[in-house]
Amino acid sequence: MLGILTVAELLAMTLWFAASAVSAQYTAQWSLTGSEAAWLTTIVQLGFVVGTALSALLNVADIVPARWLFSFAALVGAAANALLLTSDQLSSALVWRFVTGLALAGVYPPAMKMIATWFRVRRGLAVGTIVGALTVGKAMPYLVHAIPGAGITPVVLSATIGACIAALLVWFFYREGPYPFPARPFSWSLVRDVVNAPAWRLSTGGYLGHMFELYAAWTWLPVFIAASITVSDPARDAAAAMRGASVASAIAFAALAIGGAGCIWGGLVADRRGRAWLVTRAMAISGACSVLIGFAYGRSLWLLVPIALVWGFFVIADSAQFSVLVTESVPPHAVGTALTLQTSLGFLLTALVIQLVPPLATLVGWRWAFAALSLGPLFGIASIQRLVRHTAGRR
């Protein structure tokens, strides 16, 4: 069952960056600014936030069987993604990208819950594997784009086909596990109790520091790599420029996809050494990479690629563990509310940071634009260290 859900999640999540992977083509086609192109990703984040909030408020996950919800949401996302090809301007593209994000709210969180019904022991590893799969899935459009001559249509349609296959896999092969969760409907009356819990605030502080860095890195690393290749060889002809774009997409795919291994590693280490230990070290390394990669800008790929791969591995390695920390910070009856608040705040923050990177790159150049992302891990580490002290003080 873990294998089925891993493959399904990987294929469905190819929808997330389907437009982002070809943002350069859209920028040229519609004469977009950097901030306008960023909306191709930002609007997906906002759609996901709205989708998760509505799902929680309407208690969708408790009313609709998980197999139905995942399959229907994946098909809706696939359709919205395909309709992106009918867009002739940014405004209509953003509508379809918003619907895609809305649909992914029925793919990402349900998969986490679905696999947890099959694992009581080593649940951290199981959830980490699912997060790893969705990480590789988000990277897949960059792999397709790395194929010479692959433009907007192949990238978008490959994601649509992947999501359709994911829907079929779950519909025909998934069944509920032996450890189902009791219904935990969202209740606004619990919000105050959750927010007033110091452990929830500190766990969420760590998560927000992580999210401050994560999606901005994922969104703009391909652009950073392409710009670095151009700076290293500014006198290239058109054919060389096309090859450089393919190389940049291939490196971006590798940097994002290696995070899948990072998630599995993170789950193993967290189960053995503790979640706070894992997230602290992962944020320290990823934050350092966000600064170090600036020193490789415009230089040899032999220097840039290793830093990008290390960053891609550690920037997501701790992601699944923040959710587990939050579930341990509140009473069982408030877990649904706590997770919904955490997710909504985190993805709202990503929408803001994604939009801030282009003007920052204009101000200081791409070389140092990522250095500001290190502020997120610094804040996150400080918050988790306070959580460790708080937890120790209660014992």
pLDDT tens-place values along the chain, 395 residues long: 999 999 999 999 999 999 999 998 999 999 998 889 999 999 999 999 998 888 777 767 667 788 899 999 999 999 999 999 999 999 999 999 999 999 998 898 788 778 878 877 776 678 778 888 989 999 999 999 988 878 899 999 999 999 999 999 999 999 888 877 666 565 667 777 888 889 999 999 999 999 999 999 999 998 999 999 888 776 566 666 677 778 888 999 999 999 989 988 998 888 888 889 999 999 999 999 999 999 999 998 999 999 999 999 999 999 888 877 877 787 766 766 777 788 888 989 999 999 999 999 999 999 999 999 999 999 999 999 999 998 877 66
Give the C-alpha separation, 363 to 124, whole Å.
41
110 domain-assigned: yes
Report the domain count for the chain.
Answer: 2
User: Are the CB atoms for 146 and 250 separated by under 8 Å?
Assistant: yes
H-run or E-run covering 202: helix 198-232
Is residue 352 one of the residues assigned to a domain?
yes
Residue 193 is predicted with a pLDDT of: 80
140 and 273 housed in the same domain: no
The type of residue at 233 is D
Distance (Å, whole) CA 192 – CA 189:
7
pLDDT of residue 187: 64
User: Domain for residue 182, yes or no?
Assistant: no
Do 71 and 167 lie in one domain? The reply is yes
Residue 188: per-residue pLDDT: 62
374 found inside a domain? yes
**Residue 192 falls inside a structural domain:** no
Rounded Cα–Cα distance for residues 227 and 297 (Å): 8
Q: What does pTM read for this prediction?
A: 0.85
- Determine the residue type at 303: L
Both tokens of residue 90?
Answer: 């940014």
Residue 67 CB: number of other CB atoms within 10 A?
18
Looking at the structure, do residues 109 and 209 belong to the same domain, yes or no? no
- Residue 140 and residue 277 in one domain: no
Residue ranges making up the domain that contains 140: 1-177
C-alpha pair distances (Å), 230 with each of 42, 227, 300, 305, 339: 26, 5, 11, 15, 42
Domain identity same for 115 and 224: no
221 and 98: one domain? no
Residues 139 and 231 in one domain: no
User: Which pLDDT score, from 0 to 100, does residue 236 have?
Assistant: 63
14/125 same-domain check: yes
Q: List the CATH number of the domain containing 252.
A: 1.20.1250.20
Q: Which residues of 114-135 are buried (b: 16+ CB within 10 A; e: fewer)?
A: bbbbbbeeebbbbbbbbbbbbb
Q: How many beta carbons lie within 10 A of that of residue 226, not counting itself? A: 20
Q: Are residues 217 and 93 in the same domain?
A: no
Q: H-helix or E-strand containing 243?
A: helix 238-273
Residue 184 confidence (pLDDT): 58
